[in-house]
Amino acid sequence: MTGRDLAARQAELVAALVAGGPLPPGFAAAPVEAARRALLRKRAGDVARHWPLLAAALGDAWPATFAGWAAGRPTNGSLRDGWDLARELGDRGTLPPLGAEELAAREAASRYDGRTAPRPRRLPAVARAGGAVAAQLAGRVRLLRPAPR
């Protein structure tokens, strides 16, 4: 035993796997790295289920796009992970049209501050993302303008 307690050692391992932390002492590097990559693949699949249009729009580039964004970034749940990624792609100007429409619809339906769980909007709202415009009234969301192709 190293003499340090289990809680601290578990925290080190999680940090190495999802938060860009160093490999904790004594662990074999290759299997832990394989686990880190497998975890990113699994997360990419989970986020794709919550953001099907965003993932579909990126197609073959989805796993690498997601992994590039998510590496070193612990999950906040698949819904928020996809939301944060979509917003970042929007900021970079690389959000594909289908993803922009999905994001606009989500923004119209829910208020998301980027720090806590999204909450359904009670009031009517209009949201824009990447040229797409969506409106929400009484909980129903409609795309008013598709994103330019």
Partner 1 sequence: MTGPSGVGIGWRPEIAGFVAGLPGLRFVEVVAETVAPAGPLPDGLAELRGRGVIVVPHGVKLSLGGAEPVDPARVAHLAGVAAALGAPLVSEHIAFVRAGGVEAGHLLPLPRSREAVAAVVANVRRAQAELPVPLALEPIAALFDWPDDELDEADFLTEILDATGALLLLDVANVHANACNRGGDPAGLLDRLPLDRIAYVHVAGGAEHGGFYHDTHTDPVPAEVLDLVRELCDRRRPPALLLERDGHYPPATELRGELDALAAASGYPVVT
Binding site for partner 1 (CB under 8 A): 1-2, 5-11, 13-15, 17-19, 25-28, 31-32, 34-35, 37-39, 42-43, 45-46, 49, 74-76
DSSP assigned state of 4 = S
Q: How far apart are CA 12 and CA 14, in angstroms?
A: 6
Which of residues 24 and 90 has its CB atom nearest to partner 1 in the complex? 24
User: Minimum distance from CB of 73 to partner 1 (Å)?
Assistant: 10
Shortest distance (Å) from residue 6 CB to partner 1: 4
| CB nearer partner 1, residue 35 or residue 135 | 35
Residue placing its CB nearer to partner 1 in the complex, 14 or 64: 14
Neighbours of 147 (CB within 10 A): 22
Q: Which is nearer to partner 1, 51 or 133 (CB)?
A: 51
Tokens of 38: 């497998």
Helix (H) or strand (E) segment spanning residue 134? strand 132-137
Dihedral sign of CA atoms 137, 139, 140, 143 in order: positive
Q: How far is the CB of 118 from partner 1 (least distance, A)?
A: 17
Please state, in angstroms and rounded to a whole number, the distance separating the CA atoms of residues 84 and 45.
16
